[in-house]
Amino acid sequence: DVKVTQSSRYLVKRTGEKVFLECVQDMDHENMFWYRQDPGLGLRLIYFSYDVKMKEKGDIPEGYSVSREKKERFSLILESASTNQTSMYLCASSLFTLRYNEQFFGPGTRLTVL
Amino acid sequence: QKEVEQDPGPLSVPEGAIVSLNCTYSNSAFQYFMWYRQYSRKGPELLMYTYSSGNKEDGRFTAQVDKSSKYISLFIRDSQPSDSATYLCAMTWVGAAGNKLTFGGGTRVLVKP
């Protein structure tokens, strides 16, 4: 059974703090993704990675950075948290193929920035 | 304009009714079309996917793709209260970097007993 775990279910931080969100997958997937989910806006891709130390910007990378030092782990970093980064953050992973393959999601981290 | 449009709902139906969900898209490069289901406080899970145009059936679920109209649908027959969730459509194409998906905004469905 594919498992994607995220370090926290709920997180409360203050404006200006540096925030780390961690994601770990146990199925040797090449691709990993970070999304944020907001009411009415759906899932928006922040960053993704298709290999260790490789990263690509998604649709809304501003204010975020990522790190992938090991294949199974993908971290999202908010350098200086702001209130407009209050959201649900979802991590996902998938195998690399030349056709469609399923993305497996973690349970999400609900981040509140005060 | 968003690449993938989806009515946010909520869509409320009585148990046993047919639920009809749809998405429209603008990018003609999309080739794979998916429906994900997301229960409250959980991550999305894949429900069905189709390649190119046509229909696909899986139990009570039917997915339809009309590439000429850039329109996809999901039908749920004999709906159950356990079908209450948010349904997200998603799309991609062969060779998309990282096999990344483009999601619709999701439709919240409530099936009342």
Residue count (chain B)? 113
Distance, CA of B46 to CA of B23 (rounded, Å): 16
User: Looking at residue A102, what is its pLDDT?
Assistant: 86
Per the prediction, chain A carries an average pLDDT of: 93
- Give the residue from A88, A95, A103 with the most B CB atoms within 10 Å of its CB, the best one to mutate: A103
- Give the residue from B2, B47, B100, B102 with the most A CB atoms within 10 Å of its CB, the best one to mutate: B100
Interface size A-B, in CB pairs within 8 Å, comes to 68
What are the φ/ψ torsions at residue A94 (nearest 5 degrees)?
Answer: -155, 160
Q: Are A29 and A51 in contact (CB under 8 A)?
A: no
- Name the one residue in this structure whose structure tokens are 């649709």: A59
Confidence band for A10, pLDDT divided at 50, 70 and 90: very high
How far, in Å, are A42, B48, B77 from residue B91 at the CA level? 14, 12, 23
Q: Which amino acid is at A114?
A: L
Q: Flag whether pLDDT at A2 surpasses 70.
A: no
